[in-house]
Structure 1
Amino acid sequence: MTKKYLRLTDGQWQVIKNFLPVKTKGHYALRDLIDAILWILRTGCQWRNLPENFPKWESVYYHFRKWGKDGTLNRLNAKLNKMERKRQGKHRTPSLFSIDSQSIKSGPFTSMEKGVDGNKKINGRKRHVITDTLGLIWGVKVGPAHQPDGYAAQDVIEPLLGYLDRMKKILGDQAYKKGFIDWVKEHVIGLEIEISSTPPSEKGFVPLKWRWVTERTFGTFNFFRRLDKDHEKTPESQEYWILWQNCQIILNKIK
């Protein structure tokens, strides 16, 4: 992980420019808009404090929200995931997934869809992500921290069913027993849910095969200040930042 944000290289830009819309609102270059979004992701800067060497924050924010809502960001994330899997000698789409959640504290001025996770004593929101065995994020859902994992998982999985036709098994912990397994049996043919947990005799953190990669992915969020806490007014914005973070991780591997 680099110690500071470096602007997109020519090689990185060549990879992603074909996955983005050609036209933008205003006169700003598409590459500068992407650089501004990734800079905020890394530094945690407030929108209105975006430095003057980037486009105006209103334009950057407009495209951040637009690309999240119209599916551009999801398509970019999926394309980069497939590219990275191919680079590592794997099939472009995975068959084995791991799903997990992370409760995080909310920052100031965050009031929509919040709750208290009674187990972890956290007042804020909960991130639900599904990753492959490389730790790449394929789906994300953010909701109040008190929302049961099993029911939130349905919202994570459903959008993926249309194009991840190799999905065969999802690994999860005991929290996904209630609600999720029954939903899968009713709505998804041929998808296996494997529930695993730490052996009772073990104490502390015990890495479980394949599921530890999702924990590692949560760990990478700490290197992006915009994700160290939930600073977003809406849970959708938090979801967009998580997908941008996954894209940035992949782009960092390209010179």
Structure 2
Amino acid sequence: MGKIHNALRVKVREADGRRVAPTAGLVDSQSVRAADTVPTETSGFDAGKKTKGRKRFIVTDTLGLLQAVHVAAVSVQDRDGARRPLLWARLDQPTVETIWADQGFGGRLVT
């Protein structure tokens, strides 16, 4: 993220009485239906949810301030799609020691 985003994040965290650098965060995904005009190369099909579209992987700090976002085809499993945004969040905020996630992110991602 850019310098402006980091400066705003610092101000919000300070205003809430938090440390400037976060030590914990959350990761989650959200499936979004794609319009018919979305190219098939950038969308997928989730057979479990019967959804065609994309999936957003979002990492936030505990205040809900954005750390990283990755968009992939909805067919990408949570544990696979979370790798990039978790790496980006770690590189941007090395003070983060704990990331909470639901069971969909388990398995290979955790180990």
User: Which residue identity lines up with residue 104 of structure 1 in the other structure?
Assistant: V
Normalised by the size of structure 1, how large is the TM-score?
0.41
> Root-mean-square deviation (CA), in Å?
1.4
Q: Point out which structure has higher relative CO (alpha carbons under 8 A, 6+ apart).
A: 2
Amino acid corresponding to residue 92 of structure 1 in structure 2: V
**8 Å CA contact 1:114, 1:125 repeated in 2:** yes
Shift of 1:92: 1.2
Aligned residues, how many?
109
**Any stretches of 5+ residues in structure 2 without a counterpart?**
none
State which structure, 1 or 2, has the greater radius of gyration over its C-alpha atoms. Answer: 1
CA deviations 1:218-238 (Å, max 9, x no partner) are xxxxxxxxxxxxxxxxxxxxx
Aligned-partner residue type, residue 141 of structure 1:
H
Structure 2 partner of 1:30: none
Tell me, which stretches of 5 or more residues in structure 1 are unaligned?
1-73, 183-255
Alpha-carbon separation, structure 1, partners of 2:66 and 2:29: 12
1:120 aligns with 2:87: no
Contact 1:78 1:138 in 2 (8 A): no
Q: Which structure has more strand as a fraction of its residues?
A: 2
| Cα-to-partner distance string for 1:47-105 (whole Å, 9 max, x where unaligned) | xxxxxxxxxxxxxxxxxxxxxxxxxxx21323221221111111112111110000001
Q: What's the TM-score once normalised by structure 2's chain length? A: 0.89
Alignment counterpart, residue 134 of structure 1, candidates 47, 55, 63? 63
Equivalent-residue separation in structure 2 for 1:163 and 1:123 (angstroms): 32
Structure 1 stretches (4+) deviating beyond 6 angstroms?
Answer: none
> What is the match of residue 31 of structure 2?
103
What residue in structure 2 maps to residue 86 of structure 1?
14
Q: Name whichever structure is richer in helix by fraction.
A: 1
